[in-house]
Structure 1
Amino acid sequence: MISKDDEDDPFPVDDFLFDETFSQDTVYSLCGQELNIRQVFGANLGVAAPVWEAALQLCNYFEKQSVELRGKRIIELGSGTGVVGILAARMGAIVTLTDLPLALPQLQVNVSANMPPSGWPTALPTVLPLSWGEDQMNFPSDWDLVLCADIIYLPETYPLLVDTLAHLCKGGGLVYLSSKMRREHGTQIFYEEHLPSRFNVELVHRDEKQNINIFRASLKKDQ
């Protein structure tokens, strides 16, 4: 069992927890949908294995704010288990889920496990590899929404992520980012310096108890 402290920290002190691969299936009730999400814990997946609280908060935000997802073209970065993107697809969005290659098998399992009995309302979610700053040019720039849940924790990736977001949003797409605000990883610096260098950034939700912020961003006109 993973402790509460480990849930808050993407780099658990108890490394032995990831020595052997094991899986855990959990049902989440979100936006009137029930999702059965498998989390495959193991040395290779690391932070891609769990469902992070920031992802659940983003799903709940969409419901509370009545964000229209049906018919929207959505790409999710660092999808991990895919809970956010799969929910969007269940609600009628046309979704592409992306992550590093090692995370794709878990993503594909969860997509297959969550097809509604009557089939996907709009389209089967697509699962593709995407390494920030390297192969974003393989993707179009006309998305309606770009979704990011708890992916801001490695400072060396921040410029690469901003470059990737800028490419994906050239057509006017909006970015929603939900983040645990981890001081030790400079998460606040990403939102105060890196992202505002090319995007207009707005804080749209703050959970003091969980220390989670949700931001909405749009590419600046001169980019």
Structure 2
Amino acid sequence: MTCAADEDDPFPADDCLFAETFSQENQYILAGEQLKIRQVFGANLGVAAPVWEAALHLCRYLEEQSVELGGKRIIELGAGTGVVGILAARLGAAVTLTDLPLALPQLQANVSANMPPSGWPSLPPTVLPLSWGEDHMNFPSDWDLVLCADIIYLPETYPLLVETLTHLCKNGAVAYFSSKMRKEHGTPGFYDECLPSRFKVELVHRDDKQNINIYRASLRTDQ
């Protein structure tokens, strides 16, 4: 088999990477927008491959609480398939979607597939690599919102994530987190101990059936 990459693709993916993979496309109606989200399985994407229920919960919460997204500068961390950030962009936000480099081709493909027929209402979403605690200083701190859907599952990353969030939110950004509360991954401890070390944290929604919590956080000013 010959491996090839599209030189015009900003995130060219070696065809061999996807040789033993399969993809699935799902359609979602969120906040009145129809999104087509492709999920690639078996390409070593791991947790970046699927649309997690916590991401859909966050989308619905933002709609139900009438959180203003239009005209806002938004960054999504660990965007995965991009469903949350893409919805925000469809609703008029200027969005930057970030994840580890391996996840970017799938993310970029979903952004391209969901451009409205009349074009993006604000700027086209930007897709960039971001490794927490390493290259966050390459990003500005003038965001309005930081969105995080089901990214709290590796305890060794928690201090790096807090360091990254502190930089991104230092000019007043509000962060929203949606998480399945996995005790085996120390997820409750992140919200009870790690995040409150630098942030004021408020539980704003709880789904007992799905065991999903949504939190709103802002950088503490008493430090």
With normalisation by structure 1, the TM-score equals 0.91
Q: Distance in 1 between matches of 2:222 and 2:200?
A: 11
Alpha carbons 1:25, 1:39 under 8 Å: kept? yes
Summarize deviations over 1:118-162 as a string: whole Å, max 9, x none: 000011000000000000000001100000000000000000000
Q: Which residue of 1 aligns with 2:61?
A: 61
Residue identity in the other structure for 1:31: A
Where structure 1 has 5 or more consecutive residues not aligned to the other structure, the ranges are: 1-17
In 2: Cα distance, 1:104 partner to 1:120 partner: 20
Q: Which runs of 4+ in 1 moved over 2 A?
A: none
CA drift at 1:185:
0.2
Under a length normalisation based on structure 2, what TM-score does the superposition of the two structures give?
Answer: 0.91
Which residue does 1:221 correspond to in 2?
221
1:1-223 pair list within 5 angstroms: 20-223=20-223
Distance change >3 Å, CA 138–CA 222, structure 1 → 2: farther
Cα distance change, pair 141–49 in 1 and its aligned pair in 2 (3 A): same
CA distance in 2, matches of 1:46, 1:19: 16
Amino acid in the other structure paired with 1:28: Y
The one-letter amino acid paired with 1:98 is T
How far apart in 1 are the matches of 2:134 and 2:44? 21
CA RMSD of the aligned region, Å? 1.2
- What amino acid does structure 1 have at the position aligned with 2:168? L
CA distance in 1, matches of 2:173, 2:98: 17
Structure 1 residue 20: Cα displacement? 3.2
Deviations 1:5-58 (A, max 9, x none): xxxxxxxxxxxxx99311000000000000000000114101000000000000
Find the aligned partners of 2:42 and 2:197 in 1 and give their Cα distance: 36
Unpaired segments of 5 or more residues in structure 2? 1-17
Name the amino acid aligned to 2:194: H
C-alpha distance in 2, partners of 1:31/1:144?
A: 20
Q: Distance in 1 between matches of 2:61 and 2:53?
A: 12
Q: Measure, in 2, the Cα distance between the counterparts of 1:67 and 1:84.
A: 13
Equivalent position amino acid for 1:212 in 2:
I
Of all paired residues, the percent bearing the same amino acid is 81
| DSSP 3-state at the match of 2:217 | strand
Tell me how far apart the structure 1 counterparts of residues 60 and 207 of structure 2 sit (CA, whole Å).
Answer: 12
CA contact (8 A) 1:58 1:178 kept: yes
In the other structure, the counterpart of 1:10 is none
